[in-house]
């Protein structure tokens, strides 16, 4: 059993006391039986009402998209495939509108959404990363964009911003990203630690930034790759501190990174 089982209990407690505040929207350490990710509903959260900033109890599930996306040994492994998960669940949606409940958890072109995930390329990849979705449309890609050997950000149909940090096959990274609608910026951190911070578009320690004026909604996160890639300890959050550590480490930071200091300038 992975240490992240401890995290699930820790975040569950944190969610219980954060119902009126921004924090963890959803977290998943992929502690499922080996096999398809499709339909799995584990982890904690994934029942977010973004307008009310509360958890509703109506949990979403993982949706298989294409190719190979399966649980292996308590991690998600993708290989020329992917899967995604919305921020809100089935609830009491209108029968003829499958997007009704996805709307409840949506960032509606405002606010900041953060992603944190543990990432390992298991073999050479043409591309691999995680994406912010607007219902069925991929909008923003973080990780290793196609045609690059370095970490970067790809704005779908617009362009890329890349770092000088190479992606090394077999090396495990903690990646954290921000979609900042209010500050009109996208940000990506590679292996952030206690010295990293995010105080907005004008004051952050991100390894890659990109101007972003998109007004699309943000409703789901996708994990996908063009070659064998392992994913673990996914967090979607409304604050930077919650997304930084690996979930098993959250306990050490006081149920959600409360003791992980933001460095101010």
pLDDT digits (tens, 9 = 90+) for 191-244: 999 899 999 999 999 999 999 999 999 999 999 999 999 999 999 999 999 999
Cβ pair 183, 200 in contact under 8 A: yes
**d(Cα 47, Cα 61) in Å, to the nearest integer?**
10
Cβ-in-10-Å burial (0-12, 13-18, 19+) of 104 comes to buried
In this structure, is residue 259 part of a structural domain?
A: no
Tokens 């979705």 belong to residue: 133
Domain with 220, as residue range(s), is: 4-253
pLDDT digits (tens, 9 = 90+) for 5-37: 555 555 554 444 444 345 899 999 999 999 999
pLDDT band per the 50, 70, 90 thresholds, residue 4: low
CATH number at 226 reads 2.60.120.200
Tokens 């943000």 belong to residue: 218
Cβ pair 100, 228 in contact under 8 A: no
pLDDT digits (tens, 9 = 90+) for 95-149: 555 566 899 999 999 999 999 999 999 999 999 999 999 999 999 999 999 988 9
What is the pLDDT, as a whole number, of residue 98?
A: 55
Question: Which tokens belong to 124?
Answer: 């050479």
In this structure, is residue 260 part of a structural domain?
A: no
In this structure, is residue 124 part of a structural domain?
A: yes
What is the pLDDT, as a whole number, of residue 256?
A: 38
Half-sphere exposure of 157 (CA within 13 A, CB side): 4
Domain count for the chain, please give it. Answer: 1
Q: Which of helix, strand or coil describes residue 255?
A: coil
**d(Cα 123, Cα 101) in Å, to the nearest integer?**
37
Output the DSSP codes for 183-213. Answer: TTEEEEEES--TT--B-STTSB--SEEEE--
Cβ pair 227, 121 in contact under 8 A: yes
């Amino acid at each position: 059993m992975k240490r992240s089982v401890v995290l699930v209990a820790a975040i569950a407690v944190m969610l219980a006391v954060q119902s009126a505040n921004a924090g963890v929207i959803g977290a998943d350490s992929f502690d499922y039986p080996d096999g398809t990710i499709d339909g799995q509903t584990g982890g904690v959260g994934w029942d977010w009402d973004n307008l009310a900033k509360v958890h509703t109890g109506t949990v979403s599930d993982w949706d298989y998209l294409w190719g190979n996306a399966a649980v292996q040994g308590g991690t998600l492994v993708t290989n020329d495939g992917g899967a995604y998960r919305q921020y809100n669940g089935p609830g009491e949606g209108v029968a003829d509108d499958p997007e009704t409940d996805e709307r409840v958890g949506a960032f509606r072109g405002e606010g900041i959404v953060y992603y944190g995930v543990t990432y390992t390329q298991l073999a050479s990849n043409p591309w691999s990363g995680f994406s912010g979705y607007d219902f069925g449309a991929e909008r923003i890609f973080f990780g290793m964009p196609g045609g690059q050997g370095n970490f970067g950000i790809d704005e779908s149909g617009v362009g890329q911003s890349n770092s000088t940090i190479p992606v090394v096959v077999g090396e495990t990274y903690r990646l954290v990203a921000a979609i900042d609608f209010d500050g009109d910026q996208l940000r990506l951190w590679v292996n952030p630690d206690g010295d990293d911070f995010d105080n907005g578009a004008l004051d952050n320690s991100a390894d890659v930034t990109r101007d972003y004026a998109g007004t699309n909604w943000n409703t789901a996160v996708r994990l996908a790759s063009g070659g064998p890639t392992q994913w673990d300890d996914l967090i979607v959050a409304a604050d930077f501190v919650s997304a930084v550590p690996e979930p098993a480490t959250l306990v050490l930071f006081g149920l959600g990174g409360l003791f992980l200091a933001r460095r101010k300038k």
